[in-house]
Amino acid sequence: MYSFPTLLISVLSIASLAQEVAAAGAPAITRRSRSRIVRKDGGGKPWTLEKKFEGDNFLDGSWNFFDKDDPTHGKVNYQNANAAKSKGLAVVKDGQLVLSVDDTTQLRPGDKRDSVRISSKDTYNGGLFIADFAAMPVGCSVWPAWWTVGPNWPEGGEIDILEGVHNSDVNQYTLHTGAGCSSDPTAKSTGKIQGTTCASSGSDNSGCAYRDSDPRSYGQGFNDAKGGVYAHVWDSAGIKIWHFARDDIHDDIKAGTPDPSSWGSPAAFFPTTSCDVSKYFHDHVLTIDTTLCGDWAGATYGSSGCPGTCDEAVADPKNFVNAKWKINYIAVYQQK
């Protein structure tokens, strides 16, 4: 989750990022949902439901809990699985997985706050991925992300599907890759392009990005709309990402028979004609996290409209009452 506005680029350590990816865990066999055939996407092979994570099966060992220092230098203590569960930071409630930032402990400015970051043990080299969130973290100093990442960052690629900082009003979609990948500003999408150079490094991590135009796509607006769905297709045509607010979720998604060819233009489209996805993206883990301050949220805190300093915000537990992911499910489909 290394998206940055064009004028606010922070310097990250590639060595730290490589350590982060390695810590995400190796592929492993995990529980599979019962497969079913779904409609074809634009005349291609039919999509098959390969796996669906929901409720307790997020916590059955299918996902790794990252518990190292935050590579983006956030003011967080990422918790291992046992600690996250015992502290109530990773629980299943009313069928939803709830991932929280600690909202009870008063800290001193500069101290780190307990939080959670999880990554799938399985890795992926394409597919259709649908994530249904009932709510996402919001608030000053908060930097949440739903993203996927490959090994040896940035050579394995990164796809930031849902990401922002503080009280941002819309979502940002970003790719990070090795040298040679760019986005096509003429590609048909509903988002506003922010930059076309996807190549990222320790000195330039802006990536190629789109900003959504729907205030229901991020933060408080997302939560006020009772959440929604983020769907992305990664196939030979490239990478397409859609957002559907709760009231706009297509019936085929609700029925478990998604048909991306019927969804219209995506919010972000990165065609393979300008970035060969088979070359720049491989072996991705699915990742959800909430960090605080750090390279993006810390750098932008002074212009965010939030009071005081970022360290002061982290110290006050009241700021994190709404810093929670509420996840209905994440489904993975493949064409076979």
Catalytic residue numbers read 158, 163
Distance CA 67, CA 90 (A): 13
| Interacting residues of 68 by C-beta distance below 8 A, sequence separation 6+ | 19, 20, 23, 78
Half-sphere exposure in the Cβ direction for 227 (13 Å, CA): 16
The partner residues of 289 in beta bridges, in order of sequence, read: 117, 145
Terminal CA-to-CA distance of the chain, rounded, Å? 30
Could you tell me which of 286, 296, 314, 257 has the C-alpha nearest to residue 113?
Answer: 314
Residue 149 DSSP symbol: E
Half-sphere exposure in the Cβ direction for 307 (13 Å, CA): 3
| Interacting residues of 39 by C-beta distance below 8 A, sequence separation 6+ | 46, 47, 252, 257, 258, 259
| Interacting residues of 249 by C-beta distance below 8 A, sequence separation 6+ | 228, 229
The partner residues of 131 in beta bridges, in order of sequence, read: 230, 330
Q: What are phi and psi of 145, to 5 degrees?
A: -155, 145
**Chain mean position to CA 68:** 19
Cα distances (angstroms) measured from residue 4 to each of 67, 72, 209: 24, 12, 9
Distance CA 181, CA 78 (A): 32
